[in-house]
Amino acid sequence: MSDKATLNVEGKSYEFDVFTGSENEKCIDTQNLRAETGYITMDPGFGNTGSCYSSITYVDGAKGILRYRGYPIEELAEKAIFIETAYLVLYGELPNKEQLKSFSDRLKEHAPLHTNLEHHFSGFPKSAPPMAILSAMLNLISCFHPEVLEVPTTGEQFDRTASLLLSKVRTIAAFAYRMAAGKPINHPNPNLTYCGNFLHMMFSDPYQEYKVTPIIDKALNLFLILHADHEQNCSTSTVRVVGSSRANLFSSVAAGVCALWGPLHGGANAAVITMLEDIKKSGRPLTYYLEKAKDKDDPFRLMGFGHRVYKNFDPRSLILKKRVHDVLEALKVQDSLLDIALELEDATLSDDYFVSRNLYPNVDFYSGILLRAIGIPLNMYTVMFAIGRMPGWIANWKEMHDHNLRISRPRQIYTGKTTRHFIPMAER
Ligand code: ACO
């Protein structure tokens, strides 16, 4: 097999290296294209552009495969807990018992926030979206831990910084919710698990301590595991782009939170629930919504449908669809939104518009129903996604540094006016 690709342009022939990844994915290395030919590639939205070589996560969109460090998502969802998955994504191997214990101890140590940082929460208006608070507070943490600004990507200081971030993101999220709800904050309890502690900080009240049930603990672990990484998606690419200027890890993930917020990315999990509620309230037939989604003059899209990479099925959605049933059954909860979601999925499967464009439910379609079942309020859904995605963001930021990547700086083709000369005000 040839290990070169040939490009013929303007009567000249150029050769470029071909690289094959460990799962037989292929690329043409065009790093020298502009220098050699004067041409650039044009790929708005980066549908065909590889930005890095990575050994963290593998996705095969045609076959519906997702693996973290080689481990299938189905196995991790069934057998792992979130913090061992986070360890795997960060360090490349599943932790042994001692490694998991010391990782868990570090997470416990870093759970509290600096008291002065706590005061900042009261400065936000009650209506502040928790994603805005999360991004602002993640950036702010670095002011209280100046040592993290110069974080190395290996060794004890990296371990410390990664655990600090993984742990504090959960405390910030819970505090943001409590403050906005006008409720007193709950400090972290070192005797609880990662998920249990989060639920305690969210839901304990001075008169009643929240009791974490195994069903809910497991459901939250599952949600976070399914979101732990997803290679070069919009928010992870943002973290890499920001980090490529050698911005610190905290600013980089704060930017990742902002990218995640949009409804075409992580914000879709809340948008799905809003859409399903609207369908329920309106009493209109599903065909009304399908037609709206197909109408190119209408900005409405079926939220939770479609994916840039998955063109068959999103394995996370299949896992969630099944587990959501189990969780609702175990909690003895009936949710009419699940029935509407199932009907909607069915309707799209026999509709040529969706079938021909490979539009299937993505991770966000059923995840909101799981979060509802465990009592998470709607304005926190995308924050939950951010907590889950933190290991992936940190691992990608680290890998980008380890590979010493150049600053991200795409090119463009200019289509504006050619040179013209300044016109004095009186002549305009
Ligand atoms: N509803 C209706 N039509 C859709 C939808 C949808 N949800 N998604 C894509 N399409 C149509 C597009 O209009 C386009 O049609 P056309 O070929 O006739 O012009 C075709 O399908 C291809 O869509 P693109 O927008 O080019 O696909 P892209 O890969 O750029 O976008 C995205 C992917 C953003 C996920 C898109 O499918 C979408 O907007 N989905 C709804 C929002 C959503 O669920 N986002 C979460 C994604 S998962 C995640 O980020 C965690």
Question: What's the pLDDT tens digit per position in 211-255?
Answer: 999 999 999 999 999 999 999 999 999 999 999 999 999 999 999
- 132, 123 in Cβ contact below 8 A? no
Mean of pLDDT over the chain: 96
Query: Rounded to the nearest whole angstrom, what is the distance from the C-alpha of residue 303 to the centroid of ligand 1?
Result: 9
Burial 144-169 (b: 16+ CB within 10 A, else e): ebeebeebebeeeebebbbbbbbbbb
- Above 90 in pLDDT, residue 154? no
**pLDDT tens by residue, 323-343:** 999 999 999 999 999 999 999
pLDDT bucket at 149, cuts 50 / 70 / 90:
confident
Residues in the chain, total: 428
Neighbours of 248 (CB within 10 A): 19
Which residues form ligand 1's pocket by a CB distance below 6 Å?
45, 233, 264-266, 268, 293, 301-308, 357, 359, 362-364
The torsion angles phi and psi of 75, rounded to 5 degrees, stand at -70, -40
**Alpha carbon of 305 to ligand 1 centroid (Å):** 7
Is 326 a known active-site residue? no
- Ligand 1, atom 17, lies closest to the CA of 357
Residue 55 has pLDDT above 80, yes or no: yes
pLDDT average, residue stretch 54-81: 98
Give mean pLDDT, residues 56-67.
Answer: 97
Ligand 1 mean position to 262 CA, how many Å? 13
Distance 249 CA to ligand 1 centre (A): 30
What per-residue confidence (pLDDT) applies to 152? 80
d(CA 398, CA 427): 56
Which residues share a beta bridge with 26? 20
Tell me the backbone φ, ψ of residue 67, rounded to 5 degrees: -135, 135
CA of 69 to the centre of ligand 1 (A): 28
In Å, the largest CA–CA distance within the chain is 80
Euclidean distance between CA atoms 196 and 107, whole angstroms: 13
Among the atoms of ligand 1, which is closest to the Cα of residue 233?
50
Nearest CA to ligand 1 atom 19: 296
Q: Is the pLDDT score of 68 beyond 70? A: yes
What dihedral angle (degrees, nearest 10) is formed by the CA atoms of 243, 245, 251, 253?
A: -20
What does the domain layout of the chain look like in residue ranges?
Answer: 3-65, 72-404
Class of domain 72-404: mainly alpha
Q: Give the distance (Å) from ligand 1 centre to CA of residue 385.
A: 19
Cα–ligand 1 centroid distance for 358 (angstroms): 10
Res 150: pLDDT: 77
Choosing from 200, 230, 307, 401, which is the catalytic residue?
Answer: 307
pLDDT reported for residue 235: 98
What is the number of the ligand 1 atom nearest to the C-alpha of 296? 13
Q: Which atom of ligand 1 is nearest to the CA of 385?
A: 51
pLDDT of residue 271: 98
Q: Could you confirm whether 364 is annotated as catalytic? A: yes
Out of 233, 356, 359, mutate this one to test ligand 1's pocket (max ligand atoms within 8 Å of CB): namely 359
**Percentage of residues in the chain with pLDDT exceeding 90?**
92
For atom 22 of ligand 1, the residue with the nearest CA is: 357
Q: Give the residue-averaged pLDDT of 111-131.
A: 92
Confidence of residue 1 (pLDDT cuts 50, 70, 90): low
Between these two residues, 155 and 383, which has the higher pLDDT value?
383
The residue contributing the CA closest to ligand 1 atom 11 is 357
Residue ID of nearest Cα to ligand 1 atom 9: 306
Question: What are the respective helix, strand and coil percentages of the chain, to the nearest 5?
Answer: 55, 5, 35
269 C-alpha to ligand 1 centroid (Å): 14
Residue 3's pLDDT band (boundaries 50, 70, 90)?
Answer: confident
Q: Angle CA(63)–CA(69)–CA(74) in degrees, nearest 5?
A: 50
pLDDT in tens, 196-217: 999 999 999 999 999 999 999 9
Among 276, 259, 301, CA closest to 385: 259
Instruction: Determine which residue's CA is closest to atom 49 belonging to ligand 1.
Output: 265
Q: Which residue in 364, 401, 402, 403 is the catalytic one?
A: 364
Please give the share of the chain, as a percent, with pLDDT higher than 70.
Answer: 100
- Confidence class of residue 153 from pLDDT cuts 50, 70 and 90? confident
Closest residue by Cα to atom 41, ligand 1, is: 303
The answer to pTM > 0.75 is yes
> CATH topology for 3-65?
Rubrerythrin, domain 2 (2.20.28)
Q: Whose CA is nearest to atom 35 of ligand 1?
A: 307
- Counting ligand 1 atoms within 8 A of each CB, the residue from 229, 236, 357, 363 with the most, and so the one to mutate, is 357
> Hey, which of 298, 303, 307, 384 would you mutate to test ligand 1's pocket, going by the most ligand atoms within 8 Å of its Cβ?
307
List of residues 6+ apart from 207 with CB closer than 8 A? none
Which tops the pLDDT comparison, 151 or 152? 152
